[in-house]
Structure 1
Amino acid sequence: MVVQIELDGLGFHCKSIGLGKIDVVEEISQTDLLQIKAALLKWGLEIVDNKKHRLIERIKSSVFEMIHHSDRQVKLNFSSYLSSTLGLDYTYLANVFSETESMSIEQFIILTRIETVKDLIANSELNLTEISWKLNYSSVAHLSTQFKKITGVTPSFFKNNTQRVPEKV
């Protein structure tokens, strides 16, 4: 929405806007690109120019997509999902990711899943069994062990010591 508004304001017409990708009708000059970058930066958004960085953003977007829509996905492992979604060998993806991000794709996936678990614990009525199922953990024990390893506290402790954020009406 923000991207659409900013691009419209600069006189560009979008064919499509997706997570990490914009397709515009017009040719974009270097001057145009600088204007777009400045407009998006006001919102904390940036354009990724480097080929490796674009790939990293595609990997991250794919991970977010699989985690946040996992209850609708066929149960694939992350490596197969990333390879098929991005059309590249997983070993190549893993090497580029760790070289650039200083962590493995697996570590990024775990951190992202745990952040999602924290959000669901704090802001939903789901119990740990439901969260475990929704995020494709093999068991509640696996979720709890991973949660404690990353956060230093159990999911129950986190839930009891976190204020639920009320929904906006």
Structure 2
Amino acid sequence: MKIYIKNMVCDRCKLVIKNQLNDLKLDPISVELGEVDFGQMELSPDQMKQIKTNIEPLGFELLDDKNSMLVEKIKTLIIELVHQNDEPIQIKLSDYIRAHLNYDYHYLSNLFSSIEGTTIEHYYIQQKIEKVKELLVYDELTLSEIAYQMGYSSVAHLSGQFKKITDLTPSHFKKLKDVRQRTPLDKL
């Protein structure tokens, strides 16, 4: 049995969920972003209620309908592609999602928009800009290197999207060096 949890966006989130499940004496096979696999073990309604009760105060949400689960999988794929991938992004987003979920991208796009109120592409851009902010704060790469790493065709394209999302140019943001300008991933 698998359960799906909204707002699991990082390794720390996975650790929090593992600890909550351990407190409930539940031993999953794996805990991944947005997904907990219990293998053949079926959870009782009481266990599901306990999980929900324990994780909601921590900002997580247990998902119970198929469409919400699918949207959460899309978000998880995007977060993994942008934030947990050390290689430059060189794949078209629609191909990446289609390959991992085996659904028609147009269907997924419409579903995502109807549930989230924004497009997959806009969510992807927000995630990329958040990663760019992180890279600018670290100050280890040039803007050209960041543009290449994040799959932008040019520094101008990156700068344009950055300004559109943040109202700042990358160079102005870099001068601020204010981490408070960053948005937590679960708030995007």
> TM above 0.5, one fold?
yes
Give the aligned partner of residue 9 of structure 1.
23
Question: How many residue pairs align between the two structures?
Answer: 165
Q: 1:115 aligns with which of 113, 130, 135?
A: 130
Q: What amino acid is the match of 2:20? A: E
The TM-score normalised by the length of structure 1 is 0.90
Give the aligned partner of residue 56 of structure 1.
71
Q: Note if 1:142 corresponds to 2:157.
A: yes
The TM-score normalised by the length of structure 2 is 0.81
- Which piece of structure 1 moves more, 10-19 or 37-46? 37-46
User: Which blocks of at least 5 consecutive residues in structure 1 are unaligned?
Assistant: none
Give the aligned partner of residue 115 of structure 2.
100
Identity level (%): 40
How far is the alpha carbon of 1:71 from its aligned partner? 4.0
CA distance in 1 between partners of 2:42 and 2:112 (Å): 30
State the secondary structure of the residue aligned to 2:29: strand
How far is the alpha carbon of 1:130 from its aligned partner? 1.6
- Structure with the bigger RCO (C-alpha within 8 Å, sep 6+) is 2
Q: What amino acid is the match of 2:38? A: V
User: Which blocks of at least 5 consecutive residues in structure 2 are unaligned?
Assistant: 1-14, 181-188
Deviations 1:69-117 (A, max 9, x none): 4443772200000000111110000010111111111111111111111
Q: What amino acid is the match of 2:36? A: I
CA distance in 1 between partners of 2:36 and 2:53 (Å): 16
Give the aligned partner of residue 44 of structure 2.
29
Q: Note if 1:18 corresponds to 2:32.
A: yes
- Which piece of structure 1 moves more, 63-72 or 15-24? 63-72
Give the aligned partner of residue 4 of structure 2.
none
Tell me if the contact between 2:89 and 2:149 (Cα under 8 Å) persists in the aligned partners: no
Bigger radius of gyration: 1
State the secondary structure of the residue aligned to 2:78: helix
Tell me if the contact between 1:66 and 1:73 (Cα under 8 Å) persists in the aligned partners: no
State the secondary structure of the residue aligned to 1:76: coil
- Which piece of structure 1 moves more, 1-10 or 121-130? 121-130
Tell me if the contact between 2:113 and 2:120 (Cα under 8 Å) persists in the aligned partners: yes
- Which piece of structure 1 moves more, 121-130 or 70-79? 70-79
How far is the alpha carbon of 1:32 from its aligned partner? 0.8
CA distance in 2 between partners of 1:40 and 1:79 (Å): 32
Q: What amino acid is the match of 2:162? A: F
State the secondary structure of the residue aligned to 2:37: strand
